[in-house]
A and B are shown apart, each in its own frame.
Chain A
Amino acid sequence: MPVSVPAPARLRVHGTAEVAFRHADGASRLAHLYQHDPLKVLFPTVPAGEPPWAVLVTTSGGMVGGDRLDVRAEVRDGAEALVTTQAAEKVYRSAEPDCLMEVALAAGPGGALEWLPQETILFDQARLRRTTRADLSGDARLMAGEMLVFGRTAMGERFRRGLARDAWEIRRDGRLVWADAQHLDGGCAAVLDDPACYGGAVATGTILCVGPGAAGLLDRARDLLDAPPDGVRAAAGIVEDILLVRWLGREARAMRGAYGAFWAGMREAFLGRPARLPRLWHV
């Protein structure tokens, strides 16, 4: 006779990482750092031509129901930085409360921030609510993106049930100018297969370029997207002077590769940074 064994109690975690850069003496320098387990922030030595990097590490190895991660990344007036993550974020199956990720990005006048997290992998029956909010002042520039992978596709797992909520809010000088929300819940397999919904994709992505010059790069973006790999759909457009690129991939690795190549080209065109990604992206 089957015996119901309660899952071992596990403390919910609430990790925080806050990092801010300021411009001083001709360079961007760390102005503020706060980290609380399971989030840590590393500052690797960067190659020539790069702004400072902050690399977020989740030491718990992934999120379960009720976990919460808060990230705040800021470049103050005139400062530049790239903030990325050391590895893909994993969200485990759970019947518990939703996992929360709150990402707050901010850039002051003259600032330029790159938010380039690695992909988030949703295990079957994972529940994730993620909101990415950006506040830009004056002529600040932001290049930000996110990728979601539905299931551990390398081992054939599909995201059959659960919650995948991914929302964006962009504010310029305090005014909300653009919002977006992907909200996939309940039975998800049929929606992922639906020809008008995901068309069989197992990964989605979004890239935004916000700030002066972004809208003028639409042709450049379309050139970079001209020949996507098999099974990858990507398209660019302008909304509210924001350059928006949406990604759908039937194969997560292929999409990630094309997404990274596009990112490298656009960071050069938009931010004047080297057309390459941090090495940890290629591991």
Chain B
Amino acid sequence: MVDTRTMDMTTAPAMADGAPGLRGESARQSLLRLLTWLSPSFPTGGFSYSHGLEYAVEEGLVAEWRSLAGWVSALVEHGAGRTDAVLFCTIHNAVATDDAGAFDRAAEIAAVMRGTRELALESTAQGAAFLTTLRAAWPDPAREAWADRIAASGREATHAVAVALAAAAAGIALAPALAAFLHAFAANIVSAGVRLVPLGQTDGQRALAALEPVVLRCAAAAPLIPLDDIGGRAPLADWTSLRHETQYTRLFRS
């Protein structure tokens, strides 16, 4: 009899077995994977993207930690965070229920909703790097089959789609996965803000602390938003991204 608790965790099957004795352990494994996959040191190149914040700082729209927290809060709740969160839920549910049609539809919408060239780069370059790294370090044929569906359609997986399909394929529940993804999105832009404004590290953490309830609220709201209501209400963030393309001095790729 195989004692699954001693199995190599990197090749362990998804936790869907639901064996009562393993539940706590599976949850802890899910936690570890979310911490790793959405860590700033995970090699997706996240440090090189500011989501247009670089231009917002240049324009004086963000100048200290409170305005940074406010800016990022709007991106999470009203901008790319809202759109990505709805797609994240749809992709996660599609993988979890083996619904290829719903998966293909959401992956296509994610791939073509490109607010600006630089925001599309931020999203697809990170998505590709995320899946490449997982393929090397956490091989899983079931996950690859979903990723291959996107590649076969000639589309690119966005970061949200990549994380959602990987989390679902690994048996990581939607709620913690989505909260972790939105938190990582917010933390990445806060990190860019700390470098751009610039701010002290403690002010960066103040911004993150202020963003906690926003991330939790958005993660809770997203599963209730129908795909027909997808979209953002932060056109000014898109405007800063477009203006960033011609900004004279640029540290960031978006």
Partners in one complex: yes
Minimum C-beta distance from B216 to chain A (A): 18
B67 contacts the other chain (Cβ, under 8 Å)?
yes
Q: What residue of chain B has the Cβ atom nearest to residue A164's Cβ?
A: B233
Instruction: Report the separation of the CA atoms of residues A240 and B108 in the bound assembly, to the nearest whole angstrom.
Output: 14
**Chain A stretch 156-187: residues in CB contact (< 8 A) with chain B:** 165, 167, 176-185
A57 contacts the other chain (Cβ, under 8 Å)?
no
Minimum C-beta distance from A242 to chain B (A): 9
B75 touches A196 (CB 8 A): yes
Of A21-29, A65-73, A78-86, A230-238, the one contacting chain B is A230-238
A233 touches B236 (CB 8 A): yes
A222 contacts the other chain (Cβ, under 8 Å)?
yes
**Chain A stretch 169-223: residues in CB contact (< 8 A) with chain B:** 176-185, 191, 194-199, 201, 204, 222
A240 touches B114 (CB 8 A): yes
Task: Classify the secondary structure of B's interface with A.
Answer: helix
A176 touches B236 (CB 8 A): no
Measured between beta carbons, the chain A residues less than 8 angstroms from B74 are: 194-197
A167 touches B239 (CB 8 A): no
B112 contacts the other chain (Cβ, under 8 Å)?
yes
**Contact partner, B120, options A184, A201, A239, A246, Cβ 8 Å:** A239
Q: What residue of chain A has the Cβ atom nearest to residue B112's Cβ?
A: A179
Q: What residue of chain A has the Cβ atom nearest to residue B78's Cβ?
A: A197
B223 contacts the other chain (Cβ, under 8 Å)?
no
Instruction: Report the separation of the CA atoms of residues A180 and B230 in the bound assembly, to the nearest whole angstrom.
Output: 9
A178 touches B114 (CB 8 A): yes
Over the window 51-89 of chain B, the binary record of Cβ atoms lying under 8 Å from chain A Cβ atoms (1 yes, 0 no) is 000001000010000010011001100110011000000
Minimum C-beta distance from A111 to chain B (A): 23
**Contact partner, A196, options B71, B112, B113, B117, Cβ 8 Å:** B71
B112 touches A197 (CB 8 A): no
Task: Classify the secondary structure of A's interface with B.
Answer: strand
A258 contacts the other chain (Cβ, under 8 Å)?
no
B117 touches A195 (CB 8 A): no
Minimum C-beta distance from B107 to chain A (A): 12
CB within 8 Å for A191 and B242 given contacts A179-B113, A239-B117? no
**Contact partner, B242, options A185, A201, A237, Cβ 8 Å:** A237
Most A-side CB within 10 Å, residue of B116, B229, B233, B237: B233
Minimum C-beta distance from B189 to chain A (A): 11
Instruction: Report the separation of the CA atoms of residues A51 and B112 in the bound assembly, to the nearest whole angstrom.
Output: 32
CB within 8 Å for A198 and B112 given contacts A165-B229, A183-B229? no
A246 touches B238 (CB 8 A): yes
Instruction: Report the separation of the CA atoms of residues A197 and B231 in the bound assembly, to the nearest whole angstrom.
Output: 13
Instruction: Report the separation of the CA atoms of residues A234 and B243 in the bound assembly, to the nearest whole angstrom.
Output: 9
Measured between beta carbons, the chain B residues less than 8 angstroms from A167 are: 231
CB within 8 Å for A182 and B231 given contacts A195-B74, A246-B242? yes
Measured between beta carbons, the chain A residues less than 8 angstroms from B236 are: 195-199, 201, 233, 248
A197 touches B242 (CB 8 A): no
**Chain A stretch 223-275: residues in CB contact (< 8 A) with chain B:** 233-240, 244, 246, 248
**Contact partner, A183, options B114, B233, B237, Cβ 8 Å:** B233
Q: What residue of chain A has the Cβ atom nearest to residue B83's Cβ?
A: A181
Most B-side CB within 10 Å, residue of A178, A181, A196, A240: A196
Measured between beta carbons, the chain A residues less than 8 angstroms from B109 are: 179
Most B-side CB within 10 Å, residue of A184, A237, A239, A248: A237
Measured between beta carbons, the chain A residues less than 8 angstroms from B246 are: 222
B interface residue numbers (CB < 8 A to A):
56, 61, 67, 70-71, 74-75, 78-79, 82-83, 108-109, 112-117, 120, 229-239, 241-243, 245-246
A interface residue numbers (CB < 8 A to B):
165, 167, 176-185, 191, 194-199, 201, 204, 222, 233-240, 244, 246, 248
